[in-house]
Amino acid sequence: MAESMKIALAQINPTVGDIDGNLDLIRAAREEAVGLGAELVIFGEMCVSGYPAEDLSLSPMFLDRVRAGVEALAVETADGGPGLIVGGPALGGAAGGEGHLRHQVQNTAFLLDAGEVKAQRGKRDLPNYGVFDEKRIFKAGDLLGPVNFRGVRLGLMVCEDMWTPEVAECMQESGAELLVVINGSPYESDKVDVRLQVAVTRVVETGLPLIYVNQIGGQDELVFDGASFVLAADCSLTSQLPAFRTDLALSVWQRDAGGGWLPQQGVCVPPLQRWHAIYEALVLGLRDYVDKNRFPGVILGLSGGIDSALSAAVAVDSLGPERVHCVMMPSPYTSRESLEDAAEASRLLGVRFDEVSIEPAMEAFATMLAPLFAGTATDVTEENIQARARGLTLMAISNKRGAMVLSTGNKSEMSVGYATLYGDMCGGFNVLKDVYKTTVFELARWRNQTRPPGCLGPAGRVVPERTISKPPSAELRPDQVDEDSLPPYDVLDRILEHLIERDDGVDEIVTLGYERNLVNRIWRLLELAEYKRRQAAPGIKITRRDLSRDRRYPITNAFKGPL
């Protein structure tokens, strides 16, 4: 019976579909773990295939490549070095008719050692809420006991298996000595504490220590934040890896007098403060979206306002100033202050900055449409033409130069439809899509005071002070400010949080002190804008409930709600 064990927690950044690249990351981490004397290296959920692979997991060719990759890793463990726990999709049921693999594939954890696949466990508890559709794709794993690794019985679980008591209880009753959870758990603000409390609950229920390994990296709209950890049987935190960073940490274990496993105290990196964590999520999410999709850089409209200024700062921190191109596109309604603020923001960030007037385009459209618009008053139509002229300009530069257009609208605007289809909504990605306007201001203030480690932008101020202090405005007509048509953002955002994140009804929100007519109006705007949001660029999820995969409402919808 083993009396000691050295286990490495490997927090890596895999890419969905890049099986060869993911195998290289696993091999590199194993090689590093050899130098630390590790006997076992634990990786995140579906690290061989990348996660979430969605319907790729139903492709026979993809499954064959994943299986070959897992088997190749298994063969390499015959060298006498550390064993591996890795994850990927694998067939877990009988073959189906007509080649359909739905509900025959399992989200699987593999134990590799001594040249073989020693054991595998399918994910039992398949999440089917929010961004997850695993019941649509996977077959649930059976309730099985622990796996044996060099004389240690490991209760091997996959992500959601930790969030309910059933699997951990089965492992404990079947003789597990240590719970091991491999994860692909996406970032949400304040989720680190929730995860830790769930893990503590499983430890209390089973009396077993627990290792939690999470991946990092951006995958479309999701960001995985790592923050892997180790809990002793007394619920003490003995290791905590950093958030949003690849890392490998060694956890050293000894049997105690009672035969249980006790981890030695390791390094515990403190969790990030709220604004720091959100900002890091935006930086990592944008960097991985651009780099994993092989864009040379990004281009965005820099208006002199707070949203585009913060988007530019995140882009520079993600990619470096040489990969960010900012364009100011003034109209006759653009203020001198906005021109100055846009130029100042570009100077602070050190990016290429160009100015392209849209006035000739406005005049051309006015001439083109004059016969059709004769006898009508100027209204939002002309305002939308300005936004679309800007979108057309950015898309043209993108087509010519290859950089991806970064749209800059925030969650408050997207919620109530304060955005123009094919105008300011043009873009391949939106870094602020799940960021409320009030959070935009907080992040700008925070970034002006703090340069996060690993960011590629300059230290010090990156958003001009006047950009933060002046009233927000789309500047599509004379003297326009956002509060002409929207309530103050601190009020709007609180109401939206109740409607979106908490799914509260109008009556519940009114009891909190908000005016009924205002809540009704915001509810209607939220529902009416669904058709716009369906056509919006993807963007980074940071809240409990974003406006794409988390919240799915029909576009054709005759339910009017509050009267």
Q: Which of 515, 510, 503, 482 lies closest to 416, judged by CA?
A: 482
Cα separation, 323 vs 512, in Å, equals: 46
Find the catalytic residue in 39, 118, 139, 159.
159
Report CA-CA distances (Å) from 386 to 224, 302, 332, 360, 477: 37, 15, 10, 11, 10
Distance (Å, whole) CA 92 – CA 52: 18
Rounded CA-CA distance 278/192 in Å is 12
Active site residue 159: yes
362: three-class secondary structure by DSSP: helix
Looking at residue 543, its amino acid is: T
In the sheet with 178-183, reading across from the earlier edge strand, the strands are: 147-149, 152-158, 178-183, 210-214, 229-231, 237-240
In the chain, the N- to C-terminal Cα span, in Å, equals 70
Q: How many CB atoms lie within 10 A of CB 140?
A: 16
Element at 108 (helix H, strand E): strand 105-113
Catalytic, out of 45, 134, 177, 497 = 45
Distance between CA atoms of residues 26 and 73, nearest Å: 9
518 burial (CB, 10 Å; 0-12 / 13-18 / 19+) is middle
Residue pair 408/315 in contact by the 8 Å Cβ criterion: no
Instruction: Give the type of residue at 548.
Output: S
Q: Which of 118, 123, 292, 541 is catalytic?
A: 123
120, amino acid identity = Q
Side by side, which strands form the sheet with 429-430? 352-355, 324-328, 298-301, 404-407, 429-430
Element (H, E) at 183: strand 178-183
**What is the rounded CA–CA span in Å between residue 142 and residue 442?**
47
The DSSP line for 199-255 is HHHHHHHH---EEEEE-EEEETTEEEEB--EEE-TT--EEEEPPBTS-EEEEEEEEE
Burial call 423-455: b when 16+ CB within 10 Å, e when fewer: bbbbbbbbbbbbbbbbbbbbbbebbbeeebeeb
Q: Is 116 annotated as catalytic?
A: no
> Comparing C-alpha atoms, which of 251, 256, 252 is closest to residue 241?
251
Please confirm, yes or no, whether 188 is among the known catalytic residues.
no
What's 478's DSSP letter? Answer: T
Secondary-structure breakdown of the chain: helix, strand, coil percentages, each rounded to the nearest 5: 40, 20, 40
* Nearest CA-CA partner of 542 in 227, 275, 277, 188: 188
Catalytically active residues, by annotation? 45, 123, 159
